[in-house]
Amino acid sequence: MASKVTERGPAARRPFLLELYGSALGKKYVMAITGIVWMGYVLAHMIGNLKLYQGADYINEYAEFLRQDLMSPIIAQGATLWLLRSVLIVALVLHVVAAYQLTVMNKKARPESYRSRRDFVAADFASRTMRWTGVIVLLFILFHVADITLGWANPDPDGSVFDRTVASFQNPASAGFYLLANLALGFHLYHGSWSLFQSMGWNNPRFNHWRRAFAIAFAVIVVVPNLSFPIAVQLGIIS
Ligand code: HEM
């Protein structure tokens, strides 16, 4: 293909990564890589949250360790948490922006007549589900940080991490939102961890049943314990 000619001569090439990001493939890479970052986080976070079952002292001490001593003295006290937070925030922003831009791109160039009706319906259902579950999870993260980390939306804002978590889950509306959001997260993780293989080009048909098994197992392992926490507080098992 002939390159575009401008008044200054042939169009200057953008840096490789920007050029790649301009394509749908580049945006899919960004979604897959940032998705993997958050998959790692939600798995580690769920494992940490299991300390709720061990009792207040365990989870409070663990939260203090994350805040102050993670990677110390290799990295200055308290700095690792901010490093991790920065990676998570950047990954979340990139994930949401790439998702939005891909949706716009797909809408503009939707070759409906080339697709079979069955594929079209399946793909459309999956992407619509991803959009809705994504929006719910995003709103959840904002609420959750305001609720437990910052205490702004919490009935016991000055309590310990354990107290704030229990206070939040004792409120049926808040517990219900945690359940809804974690179910949405389950669908999002299932479809996301299935399609990230496709996006990264790791999709040999011989491995498809492993991909599906991995996607289901990952979603279940993260979400089932997460669902159990608000339920355990409502039932008085954690108090
Ligand atoms: C029922 C399930 C969950 C429980 C019991 C829970 C519990 C907690 C607790 C106790 C904290 C505060 C830690 C601290 O301040 O030291 C926290 C922070 C956080 N949680 Fe969760 N969480 C749950 C689900 C999730 C999910 C599904 C996500 C993401 C999709 C998430 C993302 C975060 C984030 C981003 C923070 C802020 C971390 C920071 O302070 O830098 N949580 N969570």
| Mutational pocket test of ligand 1: of 45, 179, 222, the residue with most ligand atoms within 8 Å of the beta carbon | 45
What 8-state DSSP symbol labels residue 5?
E
- Please measure the distance between the N-terminal and C-terminal CA atoms of the chain and give it in whole angstroms: 67
Token couple for 156: 């016991």
Ligand 1: residue whose CA is nearest its atom 18: 149
The pLDDT of residue 132 is above 90: yes
Predicted pLDDT at 111: 61
The pLDDT of residue 60 is above 70: yes
The pLDDT of residue 9 is above 90: no
For ligand 1, say whether the CB of 199 is within 6 Å of any of its atoms: no
**pLDDT by residue (tens digit) across 165-198?**
999 999 999 999 999 999 999 999 999 999 999 8
Which helix or strand (DSSP H or E) is residue 34 part of? helix 24-49
Ligand 1: residue whose CA is nearest its atom 37: 145
* Beta-carbon contacts of residue 166 (< 8 Å; ≥ 6 apart): 233, 238, 239
Distance between CA 162 and CA 31 in Å, rounded? 33
| Beta bridge mates, 5 | 10
Report the share of the chain in percent with pLDDT over 70: 90
Distance between CA 34 and CA 39 in Å, rounded? 9
For ligand 1, say whether the CB of 128 is within 6 Å of any of its atoms: no
Question: Are 69 and 77 within 8 A, CB to CB?
Answer: yes
Distance between CA 79 and CA 95 in Å, rounded? 24
Mean per-residue pLDDT, 154-164: 97
Residue-range domains of the chain with CATH: 24-234 (1.20.1300)
How far does the centroid of ligand 1 lie from the alpha carbon of residue 73, in Å? 25
Mean per-residue pLDDT, 32-37: 98
* Beta-carbon contacts of residue 189 (< 8 Å; ≥ 6 apart): 39, 42, 215, 218, 219, 222, 223
Between residues 122 and 66, the one the model is more confident about = 66
Q: Tell me the average pLDDT of the chain.
A: 91
Predicted pLDDT at 119: 63
184 backbone φψ class: left, alpha, beta (φ>0; ψ -120 to 50): alpha
The pLDDT of residue 2 is above 50: no
Question: Are 214 and 150 within 8 A, CB to CB?
Answer: no
Token couple for 68: 């102050």
Predicted pLDDT at 3: 47
**pLDDT by residue (tens digit) across 198-218?**
888 888 888 889 999 999 999
Ligand 1: residue whose CA is nearest its atom 2: 226
Lowest model confidence (mean pLDDT) among 56-65, 69-78, 147-156? 69-78
The β-bridge relationship of strands 9-10 and 5-6 is antiparallel
Handedness of CA 140, 190, 30, 105 (dihedral sign): negative
Can you say how many angstroms the Cα of residue 90 is from the centroid of all Cα atoms in its chain? 12
Read off the pLDDT band of 239 (50, 70, 90): very high
Distance between CA 88 and CA 81 in Å, rounded? 10
Distance between CA 212 and CA 231 in Å, rounded? 28
Which helix or strand (DSSP H or E) is residue 9 part of? strand 9-10
* Beta-carbon contacts of residue 67 (< 8 Å; ≥ 6 apart): 78, 81
Predicted pLDDT at 113: 54
For ligand 1, say whether the CB of 82 is within 6 Å of any of its atoms: no
Shortest-distance atom of ligand 1 to CA 81: 41
Can you say how many angstroms the Cα of residue 169 is from the centroid of all Cα atoms in its chain? 21
How far does the centroid of ligand 1 lie from the alpha carbon of residue 235, in Å? 21
